[in-house]
Chains A and B, each alone.
Chain A
Amino acid sequence: MIDFWILLTGALVASCCGILGAFLVLRKMAMIGDAISHSVLPGIVIAFMISGSRDSFAMLLGASLLGLVTVFLIQMFKQSGVQADASIGVVFTALFAVGVVLVSLNARQVDLDLDCVLYGEIAYVHWNTWSMSGVDLGPKAVWLLGFTLLVILAVLGLFYKQFKLCAFDPALAAALGIPVALFHYLLMGLVSMATVSSFESVGAILVVGLLIIPASTAYLLTDRLGRMIALSAGIGVLSTVIGYGAAVVLDASIAGCMVCAAALLFVLAFLFSPKHGLVARAARRRRLSRQQLGA
């Protein structure tokens, strides 16, 4: 049963991150995902200090808000002339530092551990269960992640066309009258939500791995957005399963193994993808040169 809950949590994290990661990779905003996953830390700590509990929707709200603030600040500095990636670097490191200082200042009151912020504690999800009127309803993390996944699916399902156009051609989308900035912030809000819900189970830095790596793998395997999203989520789930197995065998960090498994799958796709892989390209080139010689 413990395995089941851990795998279910991992699968939910992977699907939330995989779906959103596809858009991040397409819009060349992978590092913004990284920035958000770091800078939600002060939001989590502040929400925790105000609400006093560790798993409330207040935390989700506070951290999502901070994710939006991050994106806003990055945009602001970029417009004032700082290079894009430098403004990302300045903003997220500053916010992360604020978070670390807040955690250390309130080390006694706050039941947040910096190690857990980094690695997450997916092995402990089944201890923190949610019971309503005496009935055990399963781990809270699963409920939170399930809710996040539902929100993501609902928003993306409603505005799929708009998101798709914004991902590929923001200029055309703006010309057609789609509020590109609104969808940008909506996507970023969803990313921060996914980051926060995944935070406890896989930690701040490995969330990035699950956001970017499966989506990039899927990007190498297909040319259609719908298929890419599905593949990305699927690859994410597969890497959590492989990663958990490896972690049990090696007795190592579960979240670390999951990201390693995702990286392994990426390397496989990088080499053997039918259309964009190294092997396929080399074969195509050889066939072409042979054709040229024959003709």
Chain B
Amino acid sequence: MSDEREAPNRLPAGGSIDRDRPLSFTFDGKSYSGYAGDTLASALLANGVVLMGRSFKYHRPRGLIAAGSEEPNALMQLEKGDRTEPNTRATCIELYSGLSATSQNRWPSLSFDIGAVNSLVSRFIPAGFYYKTFMWPASMWLTYEKFIRKAAGLGVSPTAPDPDRYENTHAHCEVLVVGAGPAGIAAAAAAAASGARVLLIDEQNEAGGSLLASATGEQEPVRAWIADAVEQLQSNPDVTILKRTTVTGYFDYNYLTALEKVTDHLPPGSDPVAPRQRFWKIRARQVVIAAGAIERPLVFADNDRPGVMLANAVNTYINRYAVLPGRNIVVFTNNDSAYRTALNAANKGAEVVVVDTRREVDNTLVESLKNAGIKHFPGHAIVSVQGKLAVGAVRIMPLSEDGKTVQGQAWELSCDCIANSGGWTPSVHLFSQSGGKLAYRDGIAAFVPDAATVRSVNPCFSAGACNGTFSTTDCLSEGATAGRAAAIAAGFPGSDVQLPASDPASDDRGQGDIHPLWLVPTVHPVGEGAAKHFHDFQNDVTAADIHLAAREGYLSVEHLKRYTTTGMATDQGKTSNLNALAIMADIRGAQIPEVGTTTFRPPYTPVTLGAIAGQETGELFLQVRQTPMHRWHVEHNAVFEDVGDWKRPRYYPLGVEDMHAAVQRECAAVRDRVGILDASTLGKIDIQGEDAAEFLEMIYTNGWKKLAVGGCRYGLMLNEHGMIFDDGVTSRLGEHHFHMTTTTGGAARVLNWLEEWLQTEWPQMNVYCTSVTEQWAVAAINGPRARELLSTLTDIDLSTEAFPFMTTSEGQVAGVPARIYRISFTGELSYEINVPARYGRYLWDTLIEAGKAFDLCPYGTESMHVLRAEKGFIIVGQDTDGTVTPHDVDMSWIVSDKKDDFLGKRSLSRLDTARDGRPQLVGLLTEDPAFVLPEGAHIVSQVLDKPPMPTIGHVTSSYLSPNLGRSIALALLQNGKNRKGDTVQVQLMDGTVINAQVSSTVFVDEKGERARG
């Protein structure tokens, strides 16, 4: 690289870049070179690239204004293809080899952008333009929207899935310190010294905060102290330091979130293992916010021209990145802090002029300018900026006493950079998010945290510049005090730290005696003339827009924000908010605190959605539950269905079979021979205690006290509204011992239901419920040959006399302890064999092997649904929907009229629940036996030309029944009980109407003899 020409703005020495590690990158297809330690912004600036983007609304040319995460203009489309990311701030992208960035919001090119015509017609797109123009007619909005989206878009989203991986994790600490500048390091050091667990987080790739922008030789004792303190913190096992990490939100009970950019500083995909980003969910006992301050621009005519930068950003580029942004720099300020920039720039060889809106300036500053040969214009203001795509010159004029007008001799100063400072805005975002209130401090012309308003659930301290404390010496001591206090509040003894001696000569005294000038006047009143005074660069909002909003009555700061969109861009108004509300205060003749601030909302900086999802993507997106037989199902080609969180085999296709063919085959096998179903997913609850029967009497609609030991009974549970809530078979294993089964999806809900009643309403009952769902693996064998099959594997007497329908028996099956329930969900002879889950796979394999002699057929949930529908057995949640009573599903037989009370009983006699004509479950037989009604199709009372037609019910279950050779359906139909035999019309999506006859819900073996046989 040594023979290559150095980038034009790169200084020959200095900065914290690594000149031995040159890196090449491209911007808009053109190749450039920078160094390790550069950001994309500093590398472009070093190469003389000033124009970096086009503005959002007017497509005006824009360049960098900042060096940190507050940058509103230099938004880049980073990388290409599936890794492309829009709206990344060039100031936050650490340069890596091969980086590829493109500018946004321009066509066909950055220097010639057709959209810039918007700037010429800007008088016709004022604030509120969209609201006013596209309001009427409402029907046209969809058309307008497409146009607006296209015209107003910034970057473009990737269309392919994100190939990167992300992690999401929790952290806990006694003291969280946000910011690793002087205040934050001092706070962390003090807290750590007392033994507290400390988490120190900083956005940059190295500690130092504001000192990272200081020149070599400046504040050496403090920098040495910080280096030493960081080293000590790093070696402390109770301290965690996260660099490249931004605290993005402050939520209740000291819950904060942060985004760590783990590998974003490396070429994409180059680290095969580490996540790209990590999202932290932090619970802190105490928080010290040391987030610093953000410099705000002065609002002057055409202050958005590329080359107009914040003064401290210019300082940062010079000192940290060894980039001199201009050869002729005009420093324009209303406070002291920009003088450091002036002196630094002059020291590096730039021609510098200082224009200060103040008439009186501290004499030592004036002297230091004089010594450096820098021209000084106190009491002056920039009234215009020359140059199209970059700054070429400025005109300055003397300000009137009150700063409202300019008058007198104008000077033109040619320059290629304007370093401006309107003062410093403390970063109160996190404090405000925590619920604390802000107080306006006149002396620094900014809002600061009001420590008296800290919420008790969000204990925190603010220290340093974010607290309005700007001198480095004061930041250190305030940080140490806050760190100590936080540790004490977290229950640790307080510890002091030795701070470096203050050095008055080089101490950064911040903005000094600031004289706010919120809007810099020109020869024209604001809004007249061609010039624009921008305060919000990213959303293209000007001082004239604020005036317009005020004229139209949008005086409240929240209205102002929404009407003009100020502060609503991706930078959340970090550089613009205070200027906007101060200008509004001026218009209203009000004090700034009266106008107030808008709400600070998380995230502080944009957060990648992938990082929030973290590892919980793909197979970890949702919890997945598997039975002990799961692998067998996978090995045997099962197609799975999600039931609750469970993976259940839906059907087992043979060869090229589709679901229809497989289900027809499986159903026929069960009715003709024998089939096997994995029923392990059914919810199972062990209920013990002397009041267990009494308890079940309250839980179920039917009676339980008389159930004999060894007996099984089907039960319906209602909620207190009288609506069906779950069902299942419960068996009596002992006098005080029951085994309840629930629906697969309802297991957790039912257990909670039982526990809630026992713990809150009936604590006197001696009943204990324990979930045993996974304790038992269950193979259900169904079909006329089930008994024969089972008898090959057990000595239990399976004769109907010894082991009748609806009873349970214990013994050995296939040599392992088993409990068999002779119950049936298919209407066939059926045994549900339960073994401890560790033997589940073995039992299944053994049954399959033994079943070969009987042509045993594994079947899935789809066939189970068909088989039970043929019998008219309901599925809770499919044939019921929370508005259905037992009477509605023709199950009045299960509602005891002997019991005084059970859950939901009283609701069954409520006026609406007991009325005639409610939707009731019926069977439907289509006129065309081959036609299968779609589930969800509506039964209509009147056939019209096209939908919608008045509905009187809907189909809940519908299948082609292999055993009947025709379609069957269940439906909820108004007054269905009295319509048996009627023909009804079912409307399909396309408006076709199908005739069907209302029938009984039981289609096969109405007497139920097969299951009992």
Answer whether A and B are interacting partners. Answer: no
Q: Residues on B close to A: CB < 8 A? A: none
Q: Residues on A close to B: CB < 8 A? A: none
